[in-house]
Structure 1
């Protein structure tokens, strides 16, 4: 190990272990921000030498929590201590990525709570009536080294402390502004957190604190898919925790839909493509590459995980993991992501997040871009332990490739080369000859806007994508006229179509199964029309496996019922579970995947 320069050596306490000496020397040489902290915080290095990095971090948190000191001064002092301890623990290899991000998140939680408590105390009130909801990486305890904290502030009008002639909303906004200023205002001691409040509903026109009633109404009735994604990682992190958690509990059905939600794939696909277009310059590996938004970058790992969670998490609470790495592991364990792919994505995610931290810790900058100047890239490589930037870039290429490939497969827009043109008659005659007379009038009517399930633009778009497959199924039925009539009746009975047709579009084999049911099992088709969510069960990896024995079925039903809050919900879940299992057995019989005697025994069980 090369000895540290003389000016640094004079600051190093005795007792520092060799990995920590190397980490301090690297930070001193390559990261101006950390060099300044090493100069000004000799006590932190002494604590590390005597008691270790965990004790040094605990000391910094104690400083932050010392209510006897001015809140702005103590939080800013503690923030520098935390930044130095976490960076050195990271660079020395003492802490894994999860411990690094958790420590940064824990300090953010403490500082947000302290700021809200102080803003309320200035009005003579306790820490009640105003809550901070953490979203993004803070919500999942995965905060970056130099990141914004994404917050939504909510208040209870009946509790928020008010002054004379002050409306509850006005009081909440003033208290919120005061708390945010304590965190983000730049003083000679620096700042505590960069606060971003733009994830709240209609942020360009709404106040920075929403009443819990207004927030609940919005998320129950108007919110969009990207907001559902954001709330996968949401939690109450400061202020009135009970108030914030209560809101999250009430809007949980908005995030976790009981029916599998394939429209989310299309919505997030559109967002992803817009990101790739907007950050086009940062898509290619090299100077300017965006580790967060670039092709194969951090966000694509997160979106890959969250899309699967949105689709499957409504039925399986074990998949509702806020943290990306936990989510990938849970999805792999449940069979929704191939185990090897989950391992590759996790490995890439760790590398990308670590490299992102190296970029940010150099100057305490909120950056995700590979530097454009060679000297800066060399410094990042040194912080990363690479021989040079060329070596670091080779690893970056290897890390992003599996992410880009997996994400492309997930969101790929499958070309619909057989879409039905406006001239239905010509298409049907060319494709299916004599049975065109059964098809043409039906397609014309379906497109005419009279079918309830096809009235929304989203439903019509998804229906057009699967219509060729449905028509092909009709054409190959034993009696095409009967199959066409049953398809028409099925569409007429369908309560809504956007989710169902998006499900078929994302899973083409289900289109074939539906056609088969219409042709030979009208009873099952009728049940499906009444309850389209029955198809959800056929997407499970074991959909065509034999049902387990009575004990396992009882345990499964008990787990499903255990999520219910009231007797009405219990009965509803029992009916739904029973209907799904009956439908599953019927589909297995129709597809020739089980023996009738085995199916009868399973029905008895």
Structure 2
């Protein structure tokens, strides 16, 4: 729908009647006034360029102020168009002032080395009708023009003073812009123009949290824009942090609270209401968006937009705020900004408050309303909407736990801690600074703030004692506890999940103790959803081009894998994902890591040794990795192969024969995948399934691999080959490996008594590798190993159902009546149990009573008794099938 046509004459009439400043402009610009009344001009063109810069800018500002105001009042310019026109002029004026200030002092110099960073509403292109601008002025000592024997700092300050004079000095034509330089670092002691490197150092090491919020709306707006952009690029990690900083979030809310207190007289809607700082005002809509941007923008670059309404739309699209909330805030923000402009049009004053006397009626009538009461009622839904939504952010400080031991113990008992859990002793130790991370005043304050949140969550965990012990261990190992504690305080739902992880999942608890920032990953909108595709995961893992910075690539992959692997485990603990889907997610994650790190290792290796012509590395995955169903604790079964002639030689500065080349390259890939770096460990790698096992070379040519599989491989090696899947190499090389596997499994192999050899091998395995506990879903008789043996023997004996994915292989064999249909359900139960127990009972022992419900839910059983009964029945079914298959 389109609105009514612009009412140009009505707008001019209202301007003359209710806005003295606009009345004056209409009288001084009769030609423009006539054009506006006839709807012939929307934004006035700049005046002729042959006038002095200061006069030209003042006249341009005057004409722009008139045309924008009348266009706004007529309904021809919406808020976006109004603020864009005002901001474009401010940018242009600031840039021209900088160039003029430089050329006045240095006529032959290029206007470089001096930049203005626009903050506030100029930075977000939302400038007010009668706003000042808040730039930070920077200079580069190496490129700034200056006179002989003139220090760069002195030259920069002189230029800066002239810029300010050109813009804000008043004469009969008015002024250009008010300039406020107080947003620069430490304005009470620093010069008005700062060296760029000093400014970067400040924001990297000393800046305050509110300054992060200010730089959400920063923009290189004028002067040497390349210099300004270099500065913004350098401080981007300061503004957008992957690790969440809830201290910054709290400080911004505190700023809002202080504003409410300081401007108490303008908090209540009515005459005198402060449209900017009042409760439910413009500032709260802006802060709401900025708080969410600070929390999530470090991990989601799409949220790094400066304009408030655009930020709200992006946050809603990403799911961080509700669509209804975003719409209410954006609509209310637009109305409040529009009325703010009306107030400023009256006398061209930088004010945000509604008049307190009869002038309120004038502002209302300027907007086209009957009187001040009508204006107040127009604003009421908007301010109520913003205030309600913003108040929802206010996690007002919860009562602290008492320091009186009797009262403390009573409170902990009320939460649910048993008398012998030692909860009171733990709290006392934390308060005494038992661990280094709890010894600073800031850490103790954060601890006190979070105790009323975290202790009830730990008490209601299925195993409070275990949860408390692991939380204690987490605090003990933290280098700094402040941000973790603030994060838990700010997100109670995350605290509950953390308590469940600490209570149930020792491997995840250990990972969290080593890397507390893993909690940040759980706030990602997709953390508890399916893992992305292998290409998407690989893209997230890459750092530049392969080989650019090998060490950085190794560390980055370890961080990404650790974060996603932790989130996958949390999905099982939270009960939001099927362990079968989690197993597939673990596998996609490992495949992406293998692709990225193998490519990086190849690129790094080629720097020294070049390439072997017409040859390349191919990596074959076997076992659970080949089958696409890993657990949290799985290793990677890999075989390294290479195409081309084994007698070839590399063409680098340090040439190697092909066999030695690819063997050393295989060692490099294994190290890339397995060696712990500063970012932690990655995957254990097992290469013993290669031809000739541990006694054979690490990497063999495709010809040697095929010959070995056709002529020498044992039955157990062909059984392993049924789950072979190439995970690295060109499409052609992978297909060549697949073709070899298909020929061998299809019958191009020695004729052997498959059942007898498999039966003997399974007996040896049972003797040397017994079950680790009564719930070992893998090694118990009738467990996954017996099921896998049965499947592989049937596949090899009948040359049918070959698929690395065991579920699909079973389905194919069932379809041909080679396995009973119960084997698919058996596989699913045993795999779900294996994936879950690797997290919550790694020793396969009987779990604590509190953990049994989690396991039952994961394997889709009603309760623990059903888990035990179904496991027994399933094992009996698998044992029977294996016994039948093993007879041959």
Same fold judged by TM-score > 0.5? yes
Query: Any idea what the Cα deviations from partners look like across 1:55-76, whole Å, max 9, x if unmatched?
Result: x43x22x64xx3x431111011
1:416-455 matches, within 5 Å, as 416=399, 419-424=400-405, 426-428=407-409, 431-432=412-413, 434-436=418-420, 438-455=422-439
Q: Aligned-pair distance for 1:458?
A: 2.9
Say yes or no: does 1:402 pair with 2:385.
yes
1:411 alignment partner, SS class = coil
Q: 1:353 to 1:557 in 2, by over 3 A?
A: farther
Say yes or no: does 1:32 pair with 2:15.
no
What's 1:163 paired with? Answer: 147
2:487 alignment partner, SS class = helix
Say yes or no: does 1:259 pair with 2:259.
no
Q: Aligned-pair distance for 1:468?
A: 4.2
What's 2:199 paired with? Answer: 215
Q: Aligned-pair distance for 1:141?
A: 0.5
* TM-score of the two chains, using structure 1 as the length reference: 0.91
What's 1:322 paired with? Answer: 306
Q: Aligned-pair distance for 1:325?
A: 0.5
Q: Aligned-pair distance for 1:135?
A: 0.3
2:116 alignment partner, SS class = strand
Say yes or no: does 1:90 pair with 2:78.
no
Q: Which segments of 5 or more consecutive residues in structure 2 lack a partner in the other structure?
A: 589-888
Say yes or no: does 1:272 pair with 2:260.
no
1:380-395 matches, within 5 Å, as 380-395=363-378
1:543-558 matches, within 5 Å, as 543-548=527-532, 550=533, 554-555=535-536, 557-558=538-539
CA distance in 2 between counterparts of 1:352 and 1:438 reads 55
CA distance in 1 between counterparts of 2:61 and 2:284 reads 30
Q: 1:532 to 1:434 in 2, by over 3 A?
A: closer
Segment drifting more, 524-533 vs 407-416:
407-416
Query: Any idea what the Cα deviations from partners look like across 1:499-527, whole Å, max 9, x if unmatched?
Result: 11111001112222222222221210111
CA distance in 2 between counterparts of 1:259 and 1:247 reads 22
Q: 1:51 to 1:493 in 2, by over 3 A?
A: same
2:105 corresponds, among 120, 123, 130, to 123
1:137-156 matches, within 5 Å, as 137-156=121-140
Q: Which segments of 5 or more consecutive residues in structure 1 lack a partner in the other structure?
A: 1-16
2:393 alignment partner, SS class = helix
Say yes or no: does 1:343 pair with 2:324.
no
CA distance in 2 between counterparts of 1:247 and 1:415 reads 40
CA distance in 2 between counterparts of 1:149 and 1:290 reads 20
Segment drifting more, 489-498 vs 72-81:
489-498
Q: Aligned-pair distance for 1:577?
A: 2.4
CA distance in 1 between counterparts of 2:176 and 2:576 reads 61
Say yes or no: does 1:242 pair with 2:236.
no
Q: How many residues align?
A: 577
2:568 corresponds, among 579, 582, 585, to 585
Say yes or no: does 1:507 pair with 2:495.
no
CA distance in 1 between counterparts of 2:367 and 2:554 reads 56
* TM-score of the two chains, using structure 2 as the length reference: 0.62
Segment drifting more, 436-445 vs 333-342:
436-445
CA distance in 1 between counterparts of 2:395 and 2:464 reads 33
Greater relative contact order (CA < 8 Å, ≥ 6 in sequence): 1
Q: Is the 8 A contact 1:283 1:289 kept in 2?
A: yes
CA distance in 1 between counterparts of 2:124 and 2:194 reads 22
2:117 alignment partner, SS class = strand
2:30 corresponds, among 42, 50, 67, to 42
1:108 corresponds, among 90, 103, 106, to 90
Say yes or no: does 1:72 pair with 2:76.
no
2:221 alignment partner, SS class = strand
2:396 corresponds, among 402, 413, 422, to 413
CA distance in 2 between counterparts of 1:405 and 1:36 reads 41
1:149 alignment partner, SS class = strand
CA distance in 1 between counterparts of 2:340 and 2:275 reads 7
Q: Aligned-pair distance for 1:43?
A: 2.9
2:271 corresponds, among 282, 287, 298, to 287
1:369 corresponds, among 337, 353, 377, to 353
2:482 corresponds, among 483, 498, 509, to 498
> Radius of gyration: which is bigger?
2
Q: Aligned-pair distance for 1:276?
A: 0.4
How large is the RMSD of aligned CA atoms in angstroms? 2.2
